[in-house]
Structure 1
Amino acid sequence: MAEPSNRICVGAIAGAFGVRGEVRLKSFCAVAEDIATYGELTSEDGKRRFAVKLTRPVNGGLGARLSGIETKEQADALKGATLWADRAALPSLPDDEFYHADLIGLEVMDTGGATLGRVRAIYDHGAGDILEVYGSSGILLIPFTKAAVPTVDLAAGRIVADPPVSDE
């Protein structure tokens, strides 16, 4: 299993907001405003660093100023960029909570020990997270609940799942 990343994606830039370099920020944090409390954030490639100062809530996210971004054109150029925090700056999680980045790539087995595949993505559509598991039989979507996923063993690099059975 790969070692967990030293960085976690905590947000993305949705585009410019206004004409003075402010950006519309989409936070992936449980408390959206926490994105500004993790110190400098980096671009995905790690080449750019930004201090984040929140300015106001805006439709679909947060208004923010990023260090070094002073014009609408500079803000527009960052549209779609993700923002990453050092793992050490993030709060530790309770035993039954996980950073999505730590689950991606884990092997998923059923309760009988048969391999179902690997976690390829995690979706949150508002009613709870869903694991997308890709395996030899295709894509399997599993609700990320205690009933459907009784065991997550990060040290062993695996998840034990008891996915709901389809009536088809």
Structure 2
Amino acid sequence: MSERDSGGSGRAKAAPRSQAAFGAFVRKPVERAKTTGHALEAAASDAAMRVETVESWPDDAVEVGAVVDAYGLKGWVKVAAHADAGRGGDALLSAKRWWLMKGHERSSAPALQAKIHSDSIVAHLGGTADRDAALALRGTRVFICRSDFPALEADEFYWVDLLGLDVVNVAGVALGKVADMIDNGAHSVLRIEYPATGKDGKPVTGERLIPFVGVYVKTVDQAAKQIVVDWEADY
């Protein structure tokens, strides 16, 4: 049993497995047809950064990191991913377009190149031609469409897909909903919230922590929006 998320963008695994090495894909040159003026204009538009609005923002945008600095002199940016490249941060390497938010300003840009560098990810975005343009992006939150996340193994789940799922035990007792995921280093943990009553008789929000490992988590049914666990309500 394992799972991924992206701020929610990571993946937890019952046992570690090797990561695919990052590499460049080289395409053979092909003969290109002559490009018309309209096509050139469209291509230039696709390669540039563009202003976005709340209405044009994708419904499945997931925050995966933030721009922390410029990288080099040619417009590259350095990104601190909310999850490492094997836990959802790899979406930054594969997504063709990044969605950016700084304060209330929204924009998007094509990811022309992206690669792992030390403990971060560096990328060259369309519209950032020099270091000054890259520096202007510091503090920008980076989002990727959930549909652009890499495909998973059958027993893997992105954290973002687990949030909000109902949790019941094998006896059918409702334990609450997944409010968050925690990484304790060895494995991921489900943080579950449920309605409870405080000592003063007033309603409060209770919390349960259940390790996301096969001995406790029996099934994850995303279609039914439910996780079944071997866990007693009074644990």
Q: TM-score normalized by structure 2?
A: 0.56
Residue in 2 that maps onto 1:119: 178
CA shift, 1:162, in A, is 1.9
Query: Is the alpha carbon distance of 1:124 and 1:55 closer, same or farther for their aligned partners in structure 2, counting shifts above 3 Å?
Result: same
Residue in 1 that maps onto 2:13: none
CA contact (8 A) 1:11 1:25 kept: no
CA shift, 1:14, in A, is 4.3
The residue type equivalent to 2:229 in the other structure is A
CA shift, 1:166, in A, is 9.0
In the alignment, structure 1 residue 26 sits paired with structure 2 residue 86: no
Counterparts in 2 of 1:63-102, with a 5 A limit? Answer: 63-69=122-128, 70=130, 71=132, 72-78=134-140, 81-87=141-147, 89-102=148-161
Return 5+ residue gaps in structure 2 as ranges: 1-57, 197-205
CA shift, 1:54, in A, is 2.7
Return 5+ residue gaps in structure 1 as ranges: none
CA shift, 1:147, in A, is 1.1
C-alpha separation between the residues in 2 aligned to 1:41 and 1:122? 24
In the alignment, structure 1 residue 11 sits paired with structure 2 residue 84: no
Residue in 1 that maps onto 2:97: 40
CA contact (8 A) 1:16 1:76 kept: yes
Residue in 1 that maps onto 2:40: none
SS at match of 1:102: helix
CA contact (8 A) 1:118 1:135 kept: yes
C-alpha separation between the residues in 2 aligned to 1:61 and 1:18? 11
CA shift, 1:77, in A, is 4.1
Query: Is the alpha carbon distance of 1:8 and 1:142 closer, same or farther for their aligned partners in structure 2, counting shifts above 3 Å?
Result: farther
In the alignment, structure 1 residue 103 sits paired with structure 2 residue 157: no
The residue type equivalent to 2:86 in the other structure is A
Two-structure CA RMSD over aligned residues (Å): 3.1
C-alpha separation between the residues in 2 aligned to 1:150 and 1:55? 36
The residue type equivalent to 2:157 in the other structure is F
CA shift, 1:83, in A, is 2.0
C-alpha separation between the residues in 2 aligned to 1:37 and 1:18? 19
Residue in 2 that maps onto 1:147: 215
Query: Is the alpha carbon distance of 1:56 and 1:111 closer, same or farther for their aligned partners in structure 2, counting shifts above 3 Å?
Result: closer
Greater RCO (Cα-Cα under 8 Å, separation 6 or more): 2
Query: Which entry has the higher C-alpha Rg, 1 or 2?
Result: 2
Task: Give identity over the alignment, percent.
Answer: 24
**Total equivalences in the alignment:** 159
